């Protein structure tokens, strides 16, 4: 069975927009896990990109997400691939995705990446929707479409692969502050 390799990954944080987040079921949990992923990604050299859905209408991503992204793609399509995400990702074969809303922009972006032949890992506990039902339906559909559904700590420890990794103690400290 395949495992994540930090050297072959990018992290994409989809639409953690300030005006949207208060409406997301367990939105603070999803946001906290996204920030944990981004902080660990930076320690491990995993590129972090963000997207924002119609930022003129919904506003930007929350500052804590924007600060952790090397770049942020403004988009109008629900599928960020249709607004240039694939060009920004280059030839990175494995993509770890987290975001909102899980059943709309996150789902459609993940499906677009799968259509483009990319390996997609969706971090369920770092994704959110307005309702728990929509989140669950999104995760089932993504699984059925070939995306791998994972949790935050699964990603972190697969990226590390070994307790002797030079960043192990730093990542472990991030996990403990969760």
**Domain membership flag for residue 130:** yes
**Domain membership flag for residue 1:** no
- Determine the pLDDT at residue 70: 97
**Domain membership flag for residue 30:** yes
Cα 52 to the center of its chain, rounded Å: 13
Cα–Cα distance measured from residue 21 to residue 25, given in angstroms and rounded to the nearest whole number: 9
Residue 147 structure tokens: 């995306």
**Domain membership flag for residue 24:** yes
- Determine the pLDDT at residue 1: 67
**Domain membership flag for residue 119:** yes
Alpha helices in the chain (DSSP H): 27-44, 55-58, 63-66, 85-89, 107-115, 132-144, 152-160, 168-176
The pLDDT tens digits of the residues spanning 111-139 come to 999 999 999 999 999 999 999 999 999 99
How does residue 100 score in pLDDT terms, banded at 50, 70 and 90?
very high
Q: What is the CATH number of the domain that holds 112?
A: 3.40.50.850
The pTM of the full predicted model, rounded to 2 decimals, is 0.97
**Domain membership flag for residue 114:** yes
The pLDDT tens digits of the residues spanning 4-34 come to 999 999 999 999 999 999 999 999 999 999 9
Determine how β-strand 119-123 pairs with β-strand 94-99: parallel
**Domain membership flag for residue 57:** yes
Domain count within the chain: 1
Range of the structural domain that residue 87 is part of: 6-176
């Amino acid at each position: 069975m395949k495992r994540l390799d930090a050297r072959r990954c990018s992290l994409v944080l989809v639409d953690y927009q300030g005006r949207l987040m208060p409406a997301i079921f367990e939105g603070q949990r999803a946001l906290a896990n996204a920030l944990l992923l981004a902080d660990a990604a930076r320690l491990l050299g995993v590129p972090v990109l963000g997207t924002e859905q119609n930022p003129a209408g919904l506003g930007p991503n929350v500052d804590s997400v924007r600060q952790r992204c090397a770049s942020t793609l403004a988009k109008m399509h629900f599928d960020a691939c249709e607004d240039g995400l694939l060009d920004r990702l280059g030839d990175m074969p494995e993509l770890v995705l987290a975001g909102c809303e899980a059943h709309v922009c996150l789902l459609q972006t993940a499906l677009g990446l799968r259509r483009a032949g990319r390996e997609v890992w969706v971090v369920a506990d770092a994704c959110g929707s307005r309702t728990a039902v929509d989140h669950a339906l999104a995760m089932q559909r993504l699984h059925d479409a070939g995306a791998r559904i994972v949790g935050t700590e699964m990603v972190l420890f697969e990226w590390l692969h070994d307790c002797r990794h030079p960043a192990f103690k730093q990542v472990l400290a991030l996990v403990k502050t969760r």
